[in-house]
Structure 1
Amino acid sequence: MSNAALHVSVDRGLATVTILGSGKGNALGGTFWDDLRAFMDTVPTRDDIRATALVGEGETFSVGMDLRWYLVRLRRAERSHAHTFMDDDVRHLQHAVSAVADSPKPVIALINGECTGAALELVSACDIRYASRHARFSLPEAELGVVADLGGLQRLPLVINQGHLRELAFTGRTIDAERAARIGLVNDVYADSAALHEAARTLIGELSRHPAHVMEGIKRVLGETHQEGIRRGLDHCARWNSTHTGADGLRHAMAARLNAVAP
């Protein structure tokens, strides 16, 4: 597996997936999505892994989708007249996030610094979320003229109430770790990155006392009730953005966003 976009290490039953991404701030692009899905597909058969932790490299979890990477993909699709590209590609990315949610073993997000957009949708697929006091969260897709479509709108209602989620999705505003804990977005807040990793090691020690098939059974029972609704919601989002925004609209919105933040 390529280690350009993520790095995996396993220690005492905990597989730590460090997000490197394809751009500054561990932006999610390049081979990240395929590498993540490929790794998650191996987890069920690995006896040395009892749980997986997702963490960002350095002081940031992830700034979200790599807009430069995706903009290039949109331009190529337009030149090749691939009219179904946006719909097909969103489903491809959705599958990577769903591979995290569908893992039969617990997945923990260790969130330090920024966790924006697609990154927040990714951590919504995790079972447990720990944050450092430096963490901050936002879901700014509306600013690009699209509906968040990687599962956040389907999975976050299982984590936080509808009022808080709608506020995040409608406004795109950023919330800090304290508020994230208050609304239930994260399980707990720790002083720094080192404390996050220590919390994960403590958790894996507790999980390892229980049979693996019991952990899998808990995940299946908790997830089964909501699976059909999540699948329908993901399909609806993919079709909605493809129909209402389209590749051309998204390309212009991403280019404007990049120009706005350029130094």
Structure 2
Amino acid sequence: MAESTPYNHFSGTFVKVSSPTPYVALVELSRAPVNAFHEPFWVEMGKIFDKLGEEPTVRAVVLASAIPKLFSAGIDFSALSLGVHLCHRALPAPRRRCAHGVAYGLSIDILSACDIRYAAENARFSIKEVDVGLAADIGTLARVPKVTGNASFVNELALTGRDFSAAEALQCGLVSKVVPGSRDEVVAAALATATLIASKSPVAARGTKRVLLHARDHSVEENLHYVAVWNSAMLQTQDLMDSIKAARTKSKAKFAPLAAKL
């Protein structure tokens, strides 16, 4: 962990924020003993992600658990009356998310909202809501079928509530990498990828994310039109010139904060 942590002022009671590498925020869930979500936890996490989203120097976010043996046990049973609209509002969309140990129920909602997902080899998952008399309602049933492209597998998991392993999560496409080891190893792998993403043009990274999300929900023809319009505007930014100059001089491009361009 780097000595300089310019994002630690975003930390709260249940969510810790640091900056282990330039332009990367590490967000760690830290409500002992099992990171169970109740209303103050949700509200705090939502506010922190709102603030990180407004911080021009943040180019990638890694979401992990500060508790070594698990990511989250899901929702706090004493908070089952927590409004669904509040959960949707607080649900983050970081670029990276790493799971280790137990990741149940609400964890899958958070997992499915992330752009890139890694799991430690010891991770265990479950769409657990069916066991408490609920349908998963914070994104799992909307996102996971699209993420995996395997309706039969998702139906089985959602209707049985059974545990499934990191290997199964990889096989079905819920995660893109299984990292040998546990929390420290998967967080290190996630941070390495986030650092690589953060070294790229912020304009290109934002555009790529926006176009991919549009492609998920629209036809190929609609998406081609969308990206043409998007890039026609983005070609006017300084990032393109900086990238071309770096390529010609065989040097590493340095990009200004996104807010200075858009």
What residue in structure 2 maps to residue 177 of structure 1?
166
Q: Does 1:210 align with 2:200?
A: yes
Aligned-residue Cα RMSD (Å) equals: 1.9
What residue in structure 1 maps to residue 51 of structure 2?
42
Q: Deviations over 1:200-233 (max 9, x none)?
A: 23212321232111111111112235569xxxxx
Q: What is the aligned counterpart of 2:26 among 12, 16, 26? A: 16
Equivalent-residue separation in structure 1 for 2:85 and 2:195 (angstroms): 36
Cα offset, 1:45, TM superposition: 2.8
* Residue pair 1:2, 1:35 contacting (<8 A) in 2 also: no
* Residue pair 2:64, 2:187 contacting (<8 A) in 1 also: no
Equivalent-residue separation in structure 1 for 2:33 and 2:114 (angstroms): 23
Q: Summarize the alignment of residues 124-143 of structure 1 with structure 2, pairs less than 5 Å apart.
A: 124-143=112-131
* Residue pair 2:71, 2:100 contacting (<8 A) in 1 also: yes
AA matched with 2:57 = D
Equivalent-residue separation in structure 2 for 1:208 and 1:95 (angstroms): 26
Q: Summarize the alignment of residues 63-78 of structure 1 with structure 2, pairs less than 5 Å apart.
A: 63-68=73-78, 70-71=79-80, 74=81
Cα offset, 1:39, TM superposition: 1.4
AA matched with 2:77 = L
Q: Deviations over 1:54-106 (max 9, x none)?
A: 111221100000112x15xx4xxxxxxxxxxx7xx111111111xx23xxxx5
Equivalent-residue separation in structure 2 for 1:3 and 1:164 (angstroms): 37
Equivalent-residue separation in structure 2 for 1:225 and 1:178 (angstroms): 28
- In the alignment of these two chains, the number of paired residues is 205
Q: What is the aligned counterpart of 1:163 among 152, 174, 181? A: 152
Q: What is the aligned counterpart of 1:95 among 79, 83, 89? A: 89
Query: What's the secondary structure of 1:150's corresponding residue?
Result: coil
Structure 2 stretches of 5 or more lacking a match? 1-9, 219-262
Query: What's the secondary structure of 2:175's corresponding residue?
Result: coil
Q: Deviations over 1:223-251 (max 9, x none)?
A: 235569xxxxxxxxxxxxxxxxxxxxxxx
Radius of gyration: which is bigger? 2
* Residue pair 1:4, 1:31 contacting (<8 A) in 2 also: no
Cα offset, 1:118, TM superposition: 0.6
Distance 1:48 1:2, change over 3 A: closer
TM-score normalised according to structure 2 size? 0.73
Query: What's the secondary structure of 1:61's corresponding residue?
Result: strand
* Residue pair 2:74, 2:106 contacting (<8 A) in 1 also: yes
Query: What's the secondary structure of 2:72's corresponding residue?
Result: coil
What residue in structure 2 maps to residue 187 of structure 1?
176
Structure 1 stretches of 5 or more lacking a match? 75-85, 229-263
